[in-house]
Amino acid sequence: MSDKRSVRDVDVRGQTVLVRVDFNVPFKPGTSEISDDGRIRASLPTLRYLLEQNCALIVCSHLGRPKGRIDESVRMAPVSQRLAELLGLRVLQCNETIGRDVSALAGCLMGGDVMMLENTRFQPGEEANDAEFSRELASLATFYINDAFGAAHRAHASTEGVAHWLPSAAGLLLERELRFLGDALEDPHKPFASILGGAKVSDKIGVLDNLADKADLLLIGGGMAATFIKALGFNVGESPVEDDRIAFAKSLIYRSESGEVRLLLPDDVVVADRFNADADSRTVPVGSIPGGFRIMDIGPNTERQYCEAIKACKTVMWNGPMGVFEWEAFSHGTQVIAETLASLDDATTVLGGGSTAEAVAVLGLTDKMTHVSSGGGASLEFLEGRGLPGVEALPNR
Ligand code: ADP
Ligand code: MG
């Protein structure tokens, strides 16, 4: 259980609250049409809660990468419009992030009003975590709520700095993230399995390292399986291998041989002759990957073994797809793992990573999981056991 103070632990009635959310939503290319408003929806419980407490809300977020300058293509207006639709309320959109006009508007807000600041990254002080910018943001409000889990791994002014200038607490989304990710790492119901996949070992070394000590069972899939399979002494054909990570893979294999952790590696794989959706593909044992072919997914025997192992677990943490799930021919491993997790009745299932969340969303299984993290990079850093600056800056209960 996280010991960070939550919005539910404090009396915020009638306050003017600066709420940092993660509204860094995707747009249909070249338009101002939001293609996925999931992040806006994810903030609604906190915003509604605060409105019920008769707070005036000053909502802020970054959007895109404007690098400290005004960039017309990433103004917040389309986002505040969508927020207004979802809340069923007017949302006043500021044209600036801070300044005299913004302060004047903030001063006029009443309980139940909602105002959105302009993109925090229009200000060079945001990513620099500049104290002066933090103080100006803070001066707009009487309380600060951080609900931007997806940005909590950044020590920026609106995610970290501002918390030093105002009484602060975590929003409901941030609280939920800390509870599920934190409990899985600190106090999991056992047996605890961790499934790791995705493109590269190097992206996941920190997570592997941290989870190897905590999990009873590690299951490896995805492109990074190739490095492990090569470490076992097999030929992996054209699969990209991170040769500088072979030693790391071997050390994990040794630890599993000495009984320190149970490590499951693919027994068969789906391979293809090109990295292409329509490549020529076949299923082979890991010991006989043909020259010229590369690993694209786990095979059916592996699926069976992994699913059986998972079914015996009480907590399952999953990060990283089992194959190139974006292409139908190589999506089966990821699909079967997702369906197995979805079918578990009395296990806690916690998913992290942007692609993993996307894969499960495409399958329509998000609601069947105990928790799917809203933060890609932030969830990875959390699973690595690193403190998140945006969380650390909040006071304890
Ligand atoms: P997450 O965002 O969930 O942390 P990653 O970013 O580590 O996951 O990896 C996701 C990517 O890994 C996906 O785009 C997927 O296509 C790719 N991937 C999975 N398996 C393979 C493979 N065998 N070869 C190449 N890429 C793979
Ligand atoms: Mg990713």
Percent of the chain's residues with pLDDT above 70: 100
| pLDDT for the residue numbered 41 | 95
* Ligand 2 (single-atom ion) residues, CB below 5 Å: 354-355
Mean pLDDT (the chain, rounded): 96
pLDDT tens by residue, 104-134: 999 999 999 999 999 999 999 999 999 999 9
Output the CA 323–ligand 1 centroid distance in Å.
6
354 included as an active-site residue? yes
Closest residue to atom 10 of ligand 1, CA basis:
198
Kindly give, in sequence order, each residue whose CB lies less than 8 Å from that of residue 56, ignoring residues fewer than 6 positions away: 15, 16, 17, 109, 110, 111, 112, 113, 114, 115
| pLDDT for the residue numbered 19 | 98
Catalytic entry in 48, 200, 255, 314: 200
| pLDDT for the residue numbered 174 | 97
Output the CA 81–ligand 1 centroid distance in Å.
34
Catalytic entry in 64, 111, 206, 354: 354
- Is residue 202 within 8 A of residue 240, CB to CB? The reply is no
pLDDT tens by residue, 196-245: 999 988 889 899 989 988 999 999 999 999 999 999 999 999 999 999 99
Q: What is the mean pLDDT of residues 35-52?
A: 96
Catalytic entry in 64, 206, 377, 385: 377
- Is residue 68 within 8 A of residue 127, CB to CB? The reply is yes
Closest residue to atom 24 of ligand 1, CA basis:
223
Output the CA 212–ligand 2 centroid distance in Å.
20
CA of 356, closest atom in ligand 1:
3
| pLDDT for the residue numbered 234 | 97
pTM of whole model > 0.75? Answer: yes
CA of 203, closest atom in ligand 1:
7
Residue 76 scores a pLDDT above 80: yes
User: Cis bond leading into 66, ω under 30°?
Assistant: no
Residue 1 scores a pLDDT above 70: no
Q: Which residue has the higher pLDDT, 183 or 78?
A: 78
Percent of the chain's residues with pLDDT above 90: 92
pLDDT tens by residue, 350-360: 999 989 999 99
| pLDDT for the residue numbered 260 | 87
Output the CA 198–ligand 1 centroid distance in Å.
3
- Is residue 165 within 8 A of residue 136, CB to CB? The reply is no
Residue 333 scores a pLDDT above 70: yes
Q: Residue 357: nearest ligand to its CA?
A: 1
Output the CA 313–ligand 2 centroid distance in Å.
25
In the chain, which ranges are E strands?
16-20, 56-60, 92-93, 114-116, 143-146, 168-170, 192-196, 217-220, 262-264, 268-272, 281-285, 294-298, 315-319, 348-352, 371-372
Residue 49 scores a pLDDT above 60: yes
| pLDDT for the residue numbered 290 | 97
pLDDT tens by residue, 15-40: 999 999 999 999 999 899 999 999 99
200 included as an active-site residue? yes
| pLDDT for the residue numbered 66 | 98
- Is residue 74 within 8 A of residue 59, CB to CB? The reply is no
pLDDT tens by residue, 133-183: 999 999 999 999 999 999 999 999 999 999 999 999 999 999 999 999 998
Residues with CB under 6 A from ligand 1: 197-199, 203, 222-223, 295-296, 319-321, 323-326, 353-356, 376
Backbone phi, psi, residue 326, to 5°: -65, -20
Kindly give, in sequence order, each residue whose CB lies less than 8 Å from that of residue 351, ignoring residues fewer than 6 positions away: 317, 318, 319, 341, 357, 360, 369, 371, 372, 373
| pLDDT for the residue numbered 202 | 87
Instruction: In whole angstroms, give the CA distance from residue 397 to residue 387.
Output: 17
CA of 296, closest atom in ligand 1:
23
CA of 297, closest atom in ligand 1:
23
Residue to mutate, 228, 324, 379, ligand 1, most ligand atoms under 8 Å from C-beta: 324
Residue 2 scores a pLDDT above 80: no
Output the CA 161–ligand 2 centroid distance in Å.
27
